Amino acid sequence: MDDVYDASAPAASDRFLRDVLHGLSQPQKTLPSQYFYDEAGSVLFEQITELPEYYPTRTEVGILNQHASTIAEAMGPNTLLVEYGAGASTKTRILLDALTDPAGYVPIDVSEDFLLQTAQGLKLEYPSLPVYPIAGDFMVELGLPEDVAGTPIGFFPGSTIGNLSDEEIDKFLRAARSLLGASSKFLIGMDLRKSPSILIPAYDDAAGVTAAFNLNLLKRINTELGAEFDLGAFAHKAIWNDEASRIEMHLESLKPQVVTIAHRDIHFDAGETIHTEISRKFDLPKFLDLVGTTGWTLSDTWMDERDYFAVLLLSAT
């Protein structure tokens, strides 16, 4: 495998501490969701994708399997597949198996150890495929490694786009357009609006895996920043916000408490929450408004028969 390109600036832990202290100083305490994904968080996320309540992964995989050859044809030969938030690259394999002579694969992810393990596994499965992992934040301007060949085509599955605000989607799509170039296409998977009776259990499963995933963020802050969160004094909450059309994940303080992080005391009232993630449920016209003038236009849409999930192919304008 080619060397990993670490795009996560030298002082990643300084940035983590700064983001944590900033988020926990807001009137509604918050933590950026990208910090869920240390190695343990990435493993827990993979377990979530297997849960009976968690329909998104199964549904998106079904759509990709059903339309793989059409999608591969639209992407064309000699594709350099650039995947944002690659995780375990499970859906990638569906595309790689369908593409004609893919030129290479560029997985981008903040979860560096998990990224490297996945990239190594792919290299064994696809020995002739050049793999160029990039460890870093896809919200900042990234460059492609110099020695890549092929036509860059973006892939952003898993409805990770639903974790971004309107402003972040605008910034992200513009940055992706600039990275991928004028001949590019961008395949994006997104979860759609549906009944809260389906949505809530998907983010608050009976086995408690999503709760463990949410609480792992506090564990990570303890381990990496020397904080003293008592994990038993916070509880996972998943709330449907109908007006904003999103699931919100929170960690609720079960009692009044003070947590010290880097000599700063953070006070919590009983019932006060830390907002840890949004997971937006889109309707297509509203999403296309967001695509607006970002340098992309819609080429194709595929959905499952229940209209739970959509896979969109955008083309560079």
Ligand X SMILES: C[S@@+](CC[C@H](N)C(=O)[O-])C[C@H]1O[C@@H](n2cnc3c(N)ncnc32)[C@H](O)[C@@H]1O
Summarize as ranges the residues that interact with ligand X (CB under 6 A).
34, 37, 42, 45, 49, 57, 85-87, 91, 108-111, 137-139, 157-158, 160
CB of 81 to ligand X, least distance (A): 12
Integer Cα distance of 242 and 234 in angstroms: 25
Q: Identify residue 65 by its one-letter amino acid code.
A: N
CB of 139 to ligand X, least distance (A): 5
DSSP line for 11-60: THHHHHHHHHHHHTTSSSEE--GGGG-SHHHHHHHHHHHTSTT-HHHHHH
CB of 292 to ligand X, least distance (A): 22
Q: Residue 5: enclosing H or E segment and its boundaries?
A: strand 5-6
Q: Which residue's CB is nearer to ligand X, number 137 or number 248?
A: 137
Sequence-ordered list of residues with C-beta below 8 angstroms from that of 249, at least 6 positions apart, any chain: 203, 210, 214, 236, 237, 238, 275, 276, 277, 278, 279
CB of 85 to ligand X, least distance (A): 2
Geometric angle at alpha carbon 95, from 61 and 140, rounded to 5°: 90
CB of 272 to ligand X, least distance (A): 25
CB of 235 to ligand X, least distance (A): 22
With tokens 């596994």, the residue in question is 121
Q: How far is CA 191 from CA 25, 184, 264, 270, 309, in A?
A: 31, 23, 38, 33, 5
CB-count burial class (<10 Å; 0-12, 13-18, 19+) for 266: middle
Q: Which residue's CB is nearer to ligand X, number 75 or number 164?
A: 164
Q: Which residue's CB is nearer to ligand X, number 164 or number 259?
A: 164
Among residues 2, 187, 189, 184, the alpha carbon closest in space to that of 78 is found at 184
Q: Which residue's CB is nearer to ligand X, number 108 or number 173?
A: 108
CB of 254 to ligand X, least distance (A): 27
Q: Which residue's CB is nearer to ligand X, number 110 or number 211?
A: 110
Q: Which residue's CB is nearer to ligand X, number 86 or number 314?
A: 86
Q: Which residue's CB is nearer to ligand X, number 174 or number 254?
A: 174
Integer Cα distance of 187 and 146 in angstroms: 23
Q: How many of the other CB atoms lie within 10 Å of CB of 67?
A: 19
Rounded to the nearest 10 degrees, the angle between the axes of helix 166-180 and helix 284-291 is: 60
CB of 129 to ligand X, least distance (A): 18
Integer Cα distance of 170 and 234 in angstroms: 34
Sequence-ordered list of residues with C-beta below 8 angstroms from that of 212, at least 6 positions apart, any chain: 44
Q: Which residue's CB is nearer to ligand X, number 253 or number 279?
A: 279
